[in-house]
Chains A and B, each alone.
Chain A
Amino acid sequence: MLDVSQVSHSYAAGGRLWRKPAIPVLQDISFTLEPGMCLGLLGVSGTGKSTLGKIILGLQRPTAGRVSFAGQDWYARDRRARHHMRREVQAVFQDCYSAVNPLMSAGQIIGEPLRNYERLSALEQKRRVAELLEQVGLQASDADKRPAAFSGGQLQRINIARAIALRPKLIVLDEAISSLDMVNQTQILTLLSQLRADYGMSYLFITHHIQAALTISDRMLVMDKGQIVCTADSAAALMSSPHPAVQQLIAARLPEHPSQRLDWSSET
């Protein structure tokens, strides 16, 4: 469904007059994502995961390579075609606070994609928003509240409601749970798995959180310095990857119990 082939990207550095050599962020990334699958994209910060997410969302044209969705090239199409494709690929971002316009009500936030694509009557739109709010575990009466009245976990639910409003085929979850506390992380992950089961959507789950990725993904890609260094279909395969970046991620997990503490006492 999603086909990313040989995508490379680099950011131009410096001003318009004194251009420095471009900084490469992504090098020759290729992968495919089948319908209904959850692909985990793992890596530490600064490895170009988010840039890749933006490219897949059609927000950033890559310097080289092709991104096609359902056989259509994102960046070769005209604006109208892209507008139509856009409804199939939605996103949830890391910072739930900045992902919502502080002046809009929850209902307006969730209703934005509906307004753009579905042209519903006011009543119908209200009903759909209420439905979506209930689907993500909030109440229909929350539609009139402003973002300031919600906690982080609730806001992330609103973001999810906005993402699923159009019943997209793919949702890019860019560190969608990283800014939440543990209780909310678990709840949001459960919600996401449940929604996937209900609608058969695909997820691209971008994260540095190895446990979360393992919980929800069918396949995992590990990125390091702009390249994919490991593809694993199971936890065991991931664990046995010899690449140092993968091992570093695995070693960085913290213990669940004080008795399993990592021993640092010998270090100086």
Chain B
Amino acid sequence: MREKWTFASYENITIRICTLLLVLLFAAALLAPWLAPHDPVKVDLLHKLEAPSTAHWLGTDHLGRDTLSRLLYGSQVSLGFALVIFIVSVGVGLIVGAIAGYVGGWIDSVLMRFCEGVMAFPHLVLVLGVVGIFGPGLLQILLALLLVQWVAYARICRNMVVSLKQQSFIAAARISGSSTWSIIRTHIIPNVQRPILVVGTLEMGWAIMDISALSFLGLGVQPPQAEWGAMIHEGTAYIRSHPELMIYPGLLILIVVVLFNLLGEALSTKYGIERC
């Protein structure tokens, strides 16, 4: 019984809805300069901590800055950087993993021992170390998170490639006269793509959490620039009188992370991939 059944497409619906919502969020981030009704960093102390009104849909913060505009600009940082981390670390991880897995031998050993070394190191300590050396800032965090994340992709990719290599279609491709590079391109990478996509989607959620968390601690985005984690941090002083200053960005982080996780789960069910 090797036929492929198409089961009631609960997964497909989830995938569509999550993708749609995420695309909307990304579009909002991209179009922030046009969508935002106000300058996100313009201080207007006369209108501080205002309730929602027609001028400020979500009210203003303790410096009279428009909350909606800050959320929109903040999403540029959170989502944009998560995307950059995803693309760069997947790219590097895929290449390193494919080389290690396909070539094997001592190259594989060296690369994988290096990856294990990085993985064994506590992430937060590594990130704090980078910030400690280069000072707080977004780029430093980006660098630190990249350093941590590509390793995971490299290892997944390498293990996939090693198991793919034993399948006889790789041998068949060699016999058909395909070069090593063309085998990696046409046979290995397409077959690795799906699991990477699944893991990547789940990791995106984590990356957003990490960026927000580090910004919350004041290690990432520096004021007055807007970022969700930083906004929560700014809101902590007004937690009793104006909890909404923390709730809005917190809710957004929650929604985005949940969307990424749902999407990842649905993709992994659809492709029948066991998450590692």
User: Using a CB–CB distance below 8 Å, which chain A residues touch chain B?
Assistant: 16, 54, 57-59, 83, 86-87, 89-91, 93-95, 97-104, 112-113, 116-117, 148-149, 151-152, 159, 162
Whether B174 and A59, one on each chain, are in contact in the complex, defined by CB atoms closer than 8 angstroms, is: yes
Whole-angstrom distance between the Cβ of B113 and the nearest chain A Cβ: 12
6 further contact pairs, Cβ within 8 A, besides A103-B190, A148-B4: A86-B175, A101-B186, A104-B186, A149-B4, A151-B2, A162-B172
Whether A116 and B168, one on each chain, are in contact in the complex, defined by CB atoms closer than 8 angstroms, is: no
- Residues of chain B within 8 A (CB-CB) of A94 are 168
- Residues of chain A within 8 A (CB-CB) of B177 are 83, 86-87, 113, 116-117
Contact flags (1/0) for B181-200 with A, using CB distance below 8 Å?
A: 01000110011000000000
Whether A99 and B106, one on each chain, are in contact in the complex, defined by CB atoms closer than 8 angstroms, is: no
The complex places the Cα of A148 from the Cα of B2 at a distance, in Å, of 7
Known contacts A93-B168, A151-B2, A101 near B191 by CB under 8 Å: yes
Known contacts A59-B174, A86-B175, A87-B177, A99 near B169 by CB under 8 Å: yes
- Residues of chain A within 8 A (CB-CB) of B167 are 98-99
Instruction: Name B154-209 residues within 8 Å CB distance of A.
Output: 167-169, 171-178, 182, 186-187, 190-191
- Residues of chain B within 8 A (CB-CB) of A162 are 172, 176
Instruction: Name B234-273 residues within 8 Å CB distance of A.
Output: none
- Residues of chain A within 8 A (CB-CB) of B176 are 90, 112-113, 116, 162
10 nearest A-B residue pairs (beta carbon) = A116-B177, A113-B176, A93-B168, A98-B167, A99-B168, A148-B4, A112-B176, A101-B169, A103-B190, A98-B168
CB-based nearest B residue for A100: B169
> Size class of B's contact patch?
20 to 34
Known contacts A102-B191, A116-B178, A162-B176, A59 near B109 by CB under 8 Å: no
Residue B3, interface by CB 8 Å: yes
- Residues of chain B within 8 A (CB-CB) of A116 are 176-178, 182
Interface majority SS (helix, strand, loop, mixed), chain B: helix
Whether B169 and A90, one on each chain, are in contact in the complex, defined by CB atoms closer than 8 angstroms, is: no
Known contacts A98-B167, A148-B2, A16 near B175 by CB under 8 Å: no
Whether A99 and B2, one on each chain, are in contact in the complex, defined by CB atoms closer than 8 angstroms, is: no
The complex places the Cα of A117 from the Cα of B177 at a distance, in Å, of 7
- Residues of chain A within 8 A (CB-CB) of B191 are 101-103
Whole-angstrom distance between the Cβ of B211 and the nearest chain A Cβ: 34
The complex places the Cα of A54 from the Cα of B166 at a distance, in Å, of 13
The complex places the Cα of A78 from the Cα of B191 at a distance, in Å, of 31
CB<8 Å pairs between A and B, sample of 30: A16-B109, A57-B171, A57-B175, A58-B175, A59-B174, A59-B175, A83-B177, A86-B177, A90-B175, A91-B171, A91-B175, A93-B168, A93-B172, A94-B168, A98-B167, A98-B169, A99-B168, A99-B169, A99-B172, A102-B191, A103-B190, A103-B191, A112-B173, A112-B178, A116-B176, A116-B178, A148-B2, A148-B3, A151-B2, A152-B2
Known contacts A59-B174, A83-B177, A16 near B106 by CB under 8 Å: yes
- Residues of chain B within 8 A (CB-CB) of A83 are 177
Whether B3 and A159, one on each chain, are in contact in the complex, defined by CB atoms closer than 8 angstroms, is: no
CB-based nearest A residue for B4: A148
Whether B168 and A95, one on each chain, are in contact in the complex, defined by CB atoms closer than 8 angstroms, is: yes
The complex places the Cα of A54 from the Cα of B191 at a distance, in Å, of 24
Whether A91 and B172, one on each chain, are in contact in the complex, defined by CB atoms closer than 8 angstroms, is: yes
The complex places the Cα of A191 from the Cα of B99 at a distance, in Å, of 40
Q: Which of B169, B171, B178, B186 has the most CB of A within 10 A?
A: B169
CB-based nearest B residue for A148: B4
Whole-angstrom distance between the Cβ of A118 and the nearest chain B Cβ: 10
- Residues of chain B within 8 A (CB-CB) of A99 are 167-169, 172
Tell which of A59, A87, A101 touches B187, judged by Cβ atoms closer than 8 Å: A101
The complex places the Cα of A90 from the Cα of B109 at a distance, in Å, of 33
- Residues of chain A within 8 A (CB-CB) of B174 are 59
- Residues of chain B within 8 A (CB-CB) of A148 are 2-4
The complex places the Cα of A92 from the Cα of B174 at a distance, in Å, of 13
The complex places the Cα of A67 from the Cα of B109 at a distance, in Å, of 32
Whole-angstrom distance between the Cβ of B61 and the nearest chain A Cβ: 50
The complex places the Cα of A102 from the Cα of B164 at a distance, in Å, of 11
The complex places the Cα of A146 from the Cα of B170 at a distance, in Å, of 17
Instruction: Name B1-37 residues within 8 Å CB distance of A.
Output: 2-4
CB-based nearest B residue for A97: B2
- Residues of chain B within 8 A (CB-CB) of A93 are 168, 171-172
- Residues of chain B within 8 A (CB-CB) of A152 are 2
Tell which of A59, A87, A89 touches B171, judged by Cβ atoms closer than 8 Å: A59
Whole-angstrom distance between the Cβ of B187 and the nearest chain A Cβ: 5
The complex places the Cα of A152 from the Cα of B176 at a distance, in Å, of 21
- Residues of chain B within 8 A (CB-CB) of A89 are 175
CB-based nearest A residue for B187: A101
